[in-house]
């Protein structure tokens, strides 16, 4: 049974959506999907990762016992698995009764210094969700997000990429701005981008300022 199910991902006789449905009907399949993430076959590896991402949104409590596995996955040699782990961990923070995320906070936010834009954007993009369920971390999260304008450019993270990341930071902060103590610092950060050459960043900054800078 075990290899048959995941093997079907490879020969395309089952889609990720169908596999997700099977797991929702029988959560006993979950260990098999977790194992699949370590497969040598990319189709199985990322297919199982995607199923777990979807499950983490709807059933975080079912995935929480595997939180340590996802934390280890942050160090994967495969960037896609790291991105999938970031997404899943962010969803599991809402049921994180053992404060496992709190203990890996520095590890999670160390990815803000990554050379790949997608990696940095993932951390920034998930921050709003994490802040809402872990309000005690808001000062630390805000501090990290305000650092994004100082990240170094790389061949995979250009100045234009930094504007995309700044835009994501503003969107995330918007989700929990009322709970931020040092609001002036944030307003000052957003104002810097209100005249950006990137149209969407300029618009997001203006909307934020119209909403909160009263």
pLDDT, one tens digit per residue, over 2-61 is: 557 898 999 999 999 999 999 999 999 999 999 999 999 999 999 999 999 999 999 999
Q: Are residues 128 and 200 in the same domain?
A: yes
The HSE-up count of residue 48 (CA atoms within 13 Å, CB side) is 24
Residue 161 has pLDDT above 80, yes or no: yes
Q: Are residues 121 and 208 in the same domain?
A: yes
Tell me what the mean pLDDT of segment 119-143 comes to.
Answer: 98
Q: Are residues 89 and 117 in the same domain?
A: no
- Answer with the one of 32, 66, 98 that is the final residue of a domain: 98
Residue 4's pLDDT is what? 78
Q: Are residues 196 and 117 in the same domain?
A: yes
Cα separation of the two ends of the chain: 61
pLDDT, one tens digit per residue, over 62-75 is: 999 999 999 999 99
* Residue appearing with tokens 């307003």: 187
Q: Are residues 64 and 129 in the same domain?
A: no
- Answer with the one of 98, 115, 149 that is the final residue of a domain: 98
pTM higher than 0.85: yes
Backbone angles phi, psi at 154, to 5 degrees: -140, 175
pLDDT, one tens digit per residue, over 165-196 is: 999 999 999 999 999 999 999 999 999 999 99
- Answer with the one of 63, 98, 133 that is the final residue of a domain: 98
Residue 213's pLDDT is what? 87
Q: Are residues 112 and 189 in the same domain?
A: yes
Domain that holds residue 144: 104-214
Q: Per the structure, how many domains does the chain have?
A: 2
Q: Are residues 120 and 145 in the same domain?
A: yes
> Residue 212: enclosing H or E segment and its boundaries?
helix 199-212
Residue 19's pLDDT is what? 95
**Lookup: tokens for 148:** 């994004």
Q: Are residues 152 and 177 in the same domain?
A: yes
Q: Are residues 82 and 119 in the same domain?
A: no
Q: Are residues 149 and 179 in the same domain?
A: yes
Per DSSP, the three-state class of 80 is helix
Q: Which residue has the higher pLDDT, 106 or 3?
A: 106
Residue 1's pLDDT is what? 42
Q: Which residue has the higher pLDDT, 211 or 5?
A: 211
The HSE-up count of residue 44 (CA atoms within 13 Å, CB side) is 19
Residue 146: partners with Cβ closer than 8 Å, 6 or more residues away? 169, 185, 186, 189
Q: Are residues 39 and 17 in the same domain?
A: yes
Dihedral (CA of 86, 107, 113, 191) sign: positive
Residue 36's pLDDT is what? 96
Residue 214 has pLDDT above 80, yes or no: no
Percentage of the chain lying above the pLDDT 90 cut: 93
Q: Are residues 112 and 178 in the same domain?
A: yes
């Amino acid at each position: 049974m075990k290899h048959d199910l995941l093997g079907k991902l490879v020969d395309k006789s089952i889609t990720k959506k169908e596999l997700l449905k099977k797991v929702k009907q029988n959560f006993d399949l979950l260990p098999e999907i977790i194992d699949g993430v370590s497969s040598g076959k990319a189709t199985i590896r990322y297919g199982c990762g995607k199923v777990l991402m979807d499950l983490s949104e709807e059933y975080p409590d079912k995935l929480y016992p595997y939180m340590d596995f996802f934390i280890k996955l942050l160090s994967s040699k495969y960037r896609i698995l790291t991105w999938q782990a970031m997404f899943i961990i962010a969803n599991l923070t809402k049921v994180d009764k053992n404060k496992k995320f709190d203990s890996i906070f520095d590890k999670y936010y160390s990815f803000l210094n990554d050379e790949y834009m997608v990696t940095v954007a993932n951390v920034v993009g998930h921050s709003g969700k994490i802040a809402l369920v872990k309000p005690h971390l808001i000062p630390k999260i805000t501090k990290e997000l305000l650092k994004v304008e100082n990240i170094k450019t790389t061949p995979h993270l250009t100045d234009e990429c930094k504007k995309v990341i700044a835009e994501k930071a503003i969107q995330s902060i918007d989700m929990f701005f009322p709970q931020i103590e040092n609001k002036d610092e944030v307003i000052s950060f957003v104002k810097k981008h209100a005249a950006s050459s990137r149209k969407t960043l300029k618009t997001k900054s203006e909307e934020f300022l119209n909403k909160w800078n009263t």
